[in-house]
Chain A
Amino acid sequence: MEKVPPALASHEVTDTDGAALRLGSLWAERPVALVFVRHFG
């Protein structure tokens, strides 16, 4: 099965408090559906 692109897993984003997190940490323990939205609202 295809692997997640390393550039995606290592990419840093911010949460609603402005704290940075690495995307790959999201699915370290359970599967994630990562929903890319065009815009908030």
Chain B
Amino acid sequence: MAQLRHEEAPARDAGGELVVLGSGDARYARRFREDLGWQGRVLSDPGLGAFAAAGMKRSMVDTVLNPRVLGHAVRAFRAGARQGPTQGDSWQLGGVLVVSPTDELVWRYASREAGDHPPPAEVLAALRRAVPPVPPGAPPTA
């Protein structure tokens, strides 16, 4: 998901926010923020309650044994990514939810296997769809 760091500013420009949630503790969250130069919020969910409530997948096969995982790892390595020590649940998979201020689940992506991430453009497009319409007669915002 590291490529999403390039989408932080476009997300803000679109009227939304990218928030990272991981299972490591606050110490690892701080390091992640510093290493990536991430400006936005990075949150910790060591008990994985949010992962479960969001319906994210947990699988030994799709984090270790699925041959596509190796392909994703090679592509990430060639792109400069270097994985550090794993924290939290090694079999937990990630994903992205886009949520509107009216509690609507506008878009959802659950990674099929480790290293499978949504195209950043799709995340941004969903964020734009999630911005509430400006009511007629509302004063212009800065």
Q: Give the B-binding residues of A (Cβ under 8 A).
A: 1-5, 7-9, 11, 13-18, 21, 23-24, 26-41
CB distance from A5 to the nearest CB of B (A): 5
Chain B interface helix/strand/loop/mixed: mixed
Q: How far is the CA of A3 from the CA of B92 in the complex (A)?
A: 24
User: Is the CB–CB distance between A4 and B26 below 8 Å?
Assistant: no
Encode B69-99 as 1/0 by CB contact (under 8 A) with A: 0000000000000011111101011111111
CB distance from B84 to the nearest CB of A (A): 3
13 contacts between A and B (CB under 8 A): A11-B49, A13-B21, A13-B43, A15-B26, A30-B17, A31-B127, A34-B96, A35-B1, A37-B21, A38-B22, A38-B63, A40-B84, A41-B32
Q: Determine the distance from Cα of A35 to Cα of B21 in the docked complex, in whole angstroms.
A: 6
Contact B123 A30 (CB under 8 A): no
